[in-house]
């Protein structure tokens, strides 16, 4: 299941190389859906017909002296044979505990003798017939919602977050440049498969709307404010390089993509702390966002530095990419004393140029 891969990626247990190996295997696995460039909760499978369920295989029956003796004697307390010759457990045996109670209540002396030797064998045959222990808590008997063949979008966003965590863990552990690049490529490939990166015809719905799942036979289903939104917001901040350390805002843009930067001049519109619409001219090789309703403009440059524009038009020059605690707290509190922050990034900030 995809939850397992997400859990181990998030654990911090894997090295950069091991994370790459896992992600490579994941894309080659039956969890991957090429049509959506995304990952199912668990692989699709063909379900048996109803009449094929509760059929004890002949090989399993022949392993048990007890079951063979019961069939020979026509004893139907535990199992019975139908008109076609298939053997089944009785319908009132709903779990292994009920089976054990029935077995222990047998009165036939010869059957009780076999039972002493075969109790664990019979319980094992019951489990192999129904596979109760394989139940994962997820739907594995239908094809919608979180069912077979479905992409569960919240889990895909959790995968995205886990890969992002693996990237920054690898960076902290001084992974090789080519390893970081590989994890970054996986990250953006997974992101491109999520709805917001698709056309409506491919997604089957408005790409900016959150949906629960996409089954094999239809577009996105079950709209609603799913938990996926939380992961997507978290990963987006880290993509932009925004991190908080000891109450201070700092920018660590190594995961930032060059695709974010404008190829030609454009206008960024936003609403300020007073709810009034404002506009900022963004030139080529720049882009803008808001953080705590304060506009942050990213600009490619020759050095890493920042310029903070105060409400009274004072300019505060900051060397490097970390805002001081007082400036950061002013932004967090939305007190309105900071009008804009310009972030000048060394054009080699992520070694892609």
Segment 228-240, tens digit of pLDDT: 888 999 999 999 9
Question: How many Cβ atoms sit within 10 Å of the Cβ of residue 26?
Answer: 18
| Burial of 265: CB neighbours in 10 Å, binned 0-12, 13-18, 19+ | exposed
- pTM (2 d.p.): 0.81
Q: What is the pLDDT of residue 251?
A: 96
Q: Tell me if 77 sits within 8 A of 71, measured CB to CB.
A: no
Q: CA 316 → CA 76, 124, 233, 273, 319, distances in Å?
A: 88, 73, 29, 21, 10
Q: What is the pLDDT of residue 139?
A: 63
- The tokens describing 335, both together, are 């007190």
For the chain, percent of residues with pLDDT exceeding 90: 79
Q: How far apart are CA 7 and CA 190, in angstroms?
A: 16
Q: How far apart are CA 329 and CA 246, in angstroms?
A: 11
pLDDT in tens, 53-73: 899 999 999 999 999 999 999
Q: Print burial letters for 176-197: b (CB count within 10 Å at least 16), e (below 16).
A: eeebbebbbebbeebbebbbee
pLDDT in tens, 334-344: 999 999 999 99
Task: Flag the least confident range among 24-38, 195-209, 244-258.
Answer: 195-209
Q: How confident is the model at residue 148 (pLDDT cuts 50, 70, 90)?
A: confident
Q: What is the pLDDT of residue 33?
A: 95
pLDDT in tens, 261-313: 999 999 999 999 999 999 999 999 999 999 999 999 999 999 999 999 999 98
Q: How far apart are CA 198 and CA 39, in angstroms?
A: 15
Q: Estimate the crossing angle of helix 16-28 against helix 177-193, to 10 degrees.
A: 40
pLDDT surpasses 90 at 141: no
Q: What is the pLDDT of residue 92?
A: 92
Average pLDDT, the chain: 92
pLDDT surpasses 80 at 208: yes
pLDDT in tens, 103-120: 999 989 899 999 999 999
pLDDT surpasses 60 at 352: no
Q: What is the pLDDT of residue 353?
A: 34
Question: Using alpha carbons only, how large is the chain's radius of gyration in Å?
Answer: 30
Q: Which three-class secondary structure string do you get for 237-298?
A: HHHCCEEEECCEEEECHHHCCHHHCCCCCEEEEEECCCCCEEEEEECCCEEEEEECCEEEEE
Q: Own/partner pairs for 270-278, CB < 8 Å, 24+ apart?
A: 270/295, 273/334, 273/336, 274/336
Phi, psi of 132 (to 5 degrees): -60, -35
Sheet (strand 294-301) strand order = 286-291, 294-301, 338-346, 305-310, 315-319
| End-to-end CA, the chain | 38
- The tokens describing 188, both together, are 């953006």
Question: How many Cβ atoms sit within 10 Å of the Cβ of residue 331?
Answer: 19
Nearest of 329, 337, 308, 351 to residue 247 by alpha carbon:
329
């Amino acid at each position: 299941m995809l939850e397992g891969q997400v859990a181990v990626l998030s654990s911090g247990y894997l090295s950069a190389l091991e994370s790459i190996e896992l992600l490579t295997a994941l894309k080659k696995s039956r969890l991957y859906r090429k049509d959506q460039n995304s990952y199912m909760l668990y692989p699709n499978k063909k379900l048996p017909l109803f009449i094929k369920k509760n059929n004890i295989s002949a090989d399993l029956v022949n392993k048990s002296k007890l079951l063979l003796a019961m069939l020979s004697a026509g004893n139907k307390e535990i199992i019975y044979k139908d008109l076609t010759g298939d053997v089944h457990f009785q319908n009132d045996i709903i779990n292994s505990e009920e089976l054990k109670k029935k077995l222990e209540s047998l009165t036939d002396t010869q059957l009780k003798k076999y039972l002493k030797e075969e109790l664990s064998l019979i319980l094992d045959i019951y489990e192999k017939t129904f596979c109760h222990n394989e139940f994962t808590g997820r739907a594995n008997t239908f094809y919608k919602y979180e069912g077979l063949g479905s992409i569960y979008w919240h889990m895909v966003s959790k995968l995205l977050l886990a890969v992002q965590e693996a990237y920054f863990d690898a960076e902290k552990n001084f992974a090789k440049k080519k390893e970081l690049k590989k994890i970054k490529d996986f990250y953006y490939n997974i992101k491109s498969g999520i709805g917001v990166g698709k056309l409506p015809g491919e997604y089957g719905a408005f790409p900016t709307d959150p949906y629960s799942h996409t089954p094999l036979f239809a577009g996105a289903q079950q709209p609603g404010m799913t938990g996926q939104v939380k992961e997507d917001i978290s990963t987006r901040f880290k993509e932009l390089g925004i991190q908080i350390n000891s109450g201070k805002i700092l920018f660590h843009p190594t995961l930032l993509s060059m695709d974010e930067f404008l190829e030609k001049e454009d206008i960024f519109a936003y609403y300020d702390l007073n709810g009034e619409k404002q506009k900022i001219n963004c030139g080529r090789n720049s882009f803008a966002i808001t953080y705590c309703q304060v506009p942050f403009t990213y600009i490619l440059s020759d050095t890493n530095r920042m310029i903070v524009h105060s409400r009274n038009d004072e300019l505060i020059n900051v060397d490097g990419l970390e805002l001081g605690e007082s400036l950061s707290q002013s932004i967090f509190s939305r007190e309105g004393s900071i009008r804009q922050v310009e972030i000048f990034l060394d054009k080699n900030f992520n070694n892609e140029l």
